[in-house]
Amino acid sequence: MELPVNYNNLHYRKRRAVREAYVKVQDGFCCHCKAPLKSSPAMDIAEKPVDASLFPEGFFNWPVHLHHCHETGMTIGATHAHCNAVLWQYYGI
């Protein structure tokens, strides 16, 4: 699979495949905090408070997310759910 891809054009099943491709390319590490995706985010990220009301219901039910640019729709990589929330809430990406 060639990465990146346009997130907005992906069916949810395809999003899963793209996320898994990023996990493989990233050797199982978060593209943002660089901690293993099977563990908690790096402490400096984990300590940032997140306003859960800003995110859709169920957003935090999935531990690994497919991060993408909201302007272009292009995928960036696999992140922890908390990292994805921090990126959006604090940095708008």
Question: At 89, phi and psi to the nearest 5?
Answer: -65, -45
Residue 2 has a pLDDT of 92
Tens-digit pLDDT profile for residues 52-63 = 999 999 999 999
* 12-50 burial code (b ≥16 CB/10 A, e <16): eeebeebbebbbeebeebbbbbebebeeebbeebeeeeb
Tens-digit pLDDT profile for residues 2-40 = 999 999 999 988 999 999 999 999 999 999 999 999 999
Residue 27 has a pLDDT of 98
Q: Is residue 54 within 8 Å of residue 89, measured between CB atoms?
A: yes
Entry pTM: 0.91
Q: Which domains does the chain have, with CATH numbers?
A: 7-91 (3.40.1800)
